[in-house]
Amino acid sequence: MKYTKLPSTDIKVSKICLGSMTWGNQNTEAEGHAQMDYALDRGVNFIDTAELYPVPATAETQGRTSRFIGTWLKKNNTRDKVVIASKIAGPGDYTAHIRTSGFGADSIKEALDLELTRLQTDYIDLYQLHWPERQTNTFGVRDFKPSPNDPWVDNFNEVLHTLKSFVDAGKIRAIGLSNEKAWGAMRCAEEIRKDNLVPISTTQNAYSMLNRVFEGDLAEVSLREDIGLLAYSPLAFGVLSGKYIEGTAADNARLKLFPRFARYSSEQSTEATKQYLQLAKELGISLTTLSLAFVNQRPFVTSNIIGATNLEQLKENIESIDTELSQETLDRIEAIHAVIPNPAP
C-alpha cells in the first residue's frame, strides 16, 4: 500500500480509501465487516462513511452503514488502526428525513453527536460537509444556472467557526468539503485566513476517466490551497469496470438494482468506456485496474475511494495501487478524453 497525509494534518492515510455506502443495503453487516477485515489486512487504513448512508437514502436505513462500522470497531478494538471520515448531510428533499436545518451550529452538533454514537467512538478523524447548502451545480448537473429562489445566506464564517469548536473539543481532527465547487472552496479559504480557523484538508468530489470536471478549476485550487481530492466514483458506478458493456454485471450490481442512477450511462459515456476498455485490453490489464490506476496517479488526489459489493472486487480495487501507468498510456487516455471530454459531469 502507498500512504500520504491528509493535507494540513499529520494524519497518515492509505492512497486507497474504503468506501462504505453499499453496507446496509446491497451488503449485510457481516459482509461490511469482512470487507473492513480484508482491507485492513492489505494496508488500507482509511474508511469513509456518512450519516446519510447507505444509498439510496431512506428514513428506514439512514445511519445503518455507520452503525456497521461502529460494531466492527468495537468487536475488533481497531479504532487506533484506522482513519474514519464521515459527513453531515446537506439540506434538500433527499435528506428531509434527517433534518431540514442545514449547517447551523445546532445541526452540526446534533449530526456529529449522533454519528459518534453510531460509530461507537469519541472522535472522527475527518468530518465533511456532504454538499453545499446553496443551490449550485452538483451531482451530475453540468452547468451552473443561478436561481432567484435560492434562500441561502452566506454563512461560511459561522460554519467554519462551529467546526473549529468541535476540533478544539477533540471530537473532530480535521475538516473537509464534499461535492464542492471552486467558489465555495475559495470562500472557505478566505474565511480561514481572515480568522485563523482550521484549514480545509480535503474535498470529496466525483472523479474518474468519465468525469474530470474537477480539473476545470478545482484542481488548481487543490494544488495551490493544499486541499486534497478524495475521489469518489472512480469506477463511475461500476461502468468503468466494463461489466455493463460486456454483459457480466451481477444481478445485484448497482445499475441493475437502481437504474435511475444514470449519471454515467449516456451514449457518450458508453462510447468513451468502449474506447477505454479497448485500451485496457491492449495493455493486458482490466479496465478496472486502468481506471483506478489513472486516478491513483493524479497529483491532486489524496486518496481514491473505492467501493465493492464482494471481496473479489475489493481485491482487484486495492491491487490497483501496484499498477503504474506509463506516460505513453496516460497520453492515450488523454487522446480519448480530448475527443470525448467529460461525458458524465
Distance of CA 289 to the CA centre of its chain: 18
Q: Which domain holds residue 307?
A: 3-237+299-324
Which string of DSSP letters, residue by residue, matches 104-168?
Answer: -HHHHHHHHHHHHHHHT-S-EEEEEE-S-SS----TT--S----TT------HHHHHHHHHHHHH
In a domain, 305, yes or no: yes
pLDDT at 74: 96
pLDDT at 256: 61
Q: Which of 334, 219, 233, 227 is nearest to 292 (CA)?
A: 233
In a domain, 275, yes or no: no
Paired sense of beta strands 3-5 and 12-14, if any: antiparallel
Any idea what the CATH number is for the domain that residue 85 is in?
A: 3.20.20.100
Q: What is the pLDDT of residues 96-147, one digit of tens each?
A: 999 999 999 999 999 999 999 999 999 999 999 999 999 999 998 999 998 8
**3-state SS, residue 308:** coil
Number of domains in the chain: 1
Mean pLDDT of 63-75: 98
pLDDT at 313: 96
In a domain, 64, yes or no: yes
pTM over 0.85: yes
In a domain, 232, yes or no: yes
pLDDT at 253 over 90: no
Considering only residues 149 and 230, tell me which one the structure prediction assigns the higher pLDDT: 230
Paired sense of beta strands 200-206 and 172-178, if any: parallel
CA 274 to each of CA 231, 271, 280, 340: distance values in angstroms, whole numbers, following the listed order: 22, 5, 10, 12
Annotated catalytic residues are 53
Q: What is the pLDDT of residues 213-233, one digit of tens each?
A: 999 999 999 999 999 999 999
pLDDT at 261: 72
Q: Which of 186, 182, 236, 177 is nearest to 206 (CA)?
A: 236
Alpha helical stretches, state H, the chain: 29-41, 64-76, 105-119, 156-168, 182-195, 218-225, 243-246, 254-257, 267-283, 287-296, 311-319, 327-339
Q: What is the pLDDT of residues 312-340, one digit of tens each?
A: 999 999 999 999 999 999 999 999 999 99
